[in-house]
């Protein structure tokens, strides 16, 4: 009775709100792409000058001599920096993978109720600790500890940074690994238990293989985290250009090099551009790692 004829094309406030929100959300979504492309263009623009000009492939990848400030003979060998980052990240994974997978298995398969929730919150809190605090722990706690325990002259080295970075990467690895384990249908566990499998047999023979892709993704994201970490690595590695022969040798990381040197170079100079070339390398590596992790995660869903 109150419904007038002819009102079928009426657009009320809700219609305009709906359209406005649609646009806002679209802009939000598209901005991620714009930012990624923007960053890529920016780093590329600054770094490609070096790559096209002064860049010497053999020197960059195979020489450990990074002496950009030398007035007479500046060299840009990134090998020591690449090895530095790789060794710290590699050692960090040795620390982090067993811990994280263990924690994820415990949380997902054994812990129940309050204990489970508490652990999850604690692990998320661990992820919220700023990296400079981790660096501080490396510098003032781990450093003297390593010196006295291993009787070495210097405690800022691969071991120190590896442990710190391992602890830093653990929360994200644990969280993602736990998600992967939780995504395994409970019917699998029930089926295996009904066949008389023990808890460990269920985990080892059914749950872990089923969650394999997610676990690989978790580890890869941890590696990506390690590669890109700057501050803690800068503080704990000793920051000295060196190809390490043991875990007690100090190293220098790619990220830390950019962070410490960029402010002291003239914009557009060779050195400045070389640092951006390091940035391109880092960007490329982390991009590939994250992409691979993403493909692994998608692999789970396709099954």
Contact flag: residue 20 with other proteins (CB under 8 A): no
Instruction: Annotate 85-141 with three-state secondary structure.
Output: HHHHHHHHHHHHHHHHHHHHHHHHHHCCHHHHHHHHHHHHHHHCCCHHHHHHHHHHH
The answer to whether 188 contacts other proteins (rule: CB under 8 A) is yes
For other proteins, give the closer residue by CB, 97 or 210.
Answer: 210
204 binds other proteins (CB under 8 A): no
Q: Which is nearer to other proteins, 189 or 239 (CB)?
A: 189
Assess 206 for contact with other proteins (CB under 8 A). yes
Instruction: Kindly identify the residues of this chain, within the stretch 97-116, that bind other proteins according to CB under 8 A.
Output: 112
Would you tell me how many other CB atoms lie within 10 Å of the CB of residue 293? 22
CA distances from 166 to 218, 229, 287 (A): 13, 11, 20
Single residue of 198, 269, 294, 298 touching other proteins by CB under 8 A: 198
Minimum distance from CB of 215 to other proteins (Å)? Answer: 14
Q: Could you say whether residue 140 binds other proteins (CB under 8 A)?
A: no
Given phi > 0 = left and psi -120 to 50 = alpha, else beta, which region is 267?
Answer: beta
Looking at the Cβ atoms of 98 and 209, the one nearer to other proteins is 209
Q: Does 302 engage in binding with other proteins (CB under 8 A)?
A: no
Does 297 help bind other proteins (rule: CB under 8 A)? no
User: With contact defined as beta carbons under 8 Å apart, do 215 and 101 qualify?
Assistant: yes
Contact at 8 Å (CB) between 266 and 256?
Answer: no
**210 binds other proteins per the rule CB under 8 A:** yes
Closest CA to 173 of 92, 243, 112: 92
Interface with other proteins (CB under 8 A): 112, 185, 187-198, 201, 205-206, 209-210, 303
């Amino acid at each position: 009775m109150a419904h007038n004829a002819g009102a079928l094309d009426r657009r009320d406030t809700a219609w305009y709100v709906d359209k406005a929100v649609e646009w806002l959300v679209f802009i939000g979504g598209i901005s991620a792409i714009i930012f990624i492309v923007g960053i890529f263009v920016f780093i590329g623009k600054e770094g490609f000058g070096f790559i096209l000009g002064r860049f010497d492939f053999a020197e960059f990848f195979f020489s450990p001599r990074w002496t950009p400030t030398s007035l007479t003979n500046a060299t840009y060998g990134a090998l020591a920096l690449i090895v530095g980052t790789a060794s710290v990240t590699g050692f960090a994974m040795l620390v982090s993978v067993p811990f994280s997978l263990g924690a994820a298995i415990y949380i997902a398969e054994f812990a129940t109720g309050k204990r489970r929730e508490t652990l999850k919150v604690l692990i998320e809190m661990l992820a919220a600790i700023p990296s400079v605090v981790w660096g501080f722990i490396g510098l003032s706690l781990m450093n003297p500890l390593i010196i006295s325990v291993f009787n070495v002259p210097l405690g800022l080295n691969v071991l120190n940074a590896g442990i710190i970075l391992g602890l830093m990467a653990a929360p994200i690895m644990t969280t993602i690994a736990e998600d992967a384990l939780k995504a395994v249908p409970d019917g699998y566990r029930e089926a295996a238990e009904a066949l008389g499998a023990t808890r460990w047999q269920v985990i080892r023979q059914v749950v872990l293989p089923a969650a394999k892709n997610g676990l690989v993704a978790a580890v890869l994201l941890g590696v990506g985290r390690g590669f890109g970490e700057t501050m803690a690595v800068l503080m704990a590695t000793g920051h000295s250009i060196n190809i390490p022969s043991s875990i007690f040798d100090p190293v220098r990381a790619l990220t830390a090099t950019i962070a410490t040197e960029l402010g002291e170079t003239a914009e557009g100079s060779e050195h400045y551009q070389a640092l951006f070339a390091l940035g391109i390398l880092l960007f490329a590596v982390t991009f590939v790692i994250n992409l691979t992790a993403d493909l692994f995660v998608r692999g789970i869903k396709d099954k």
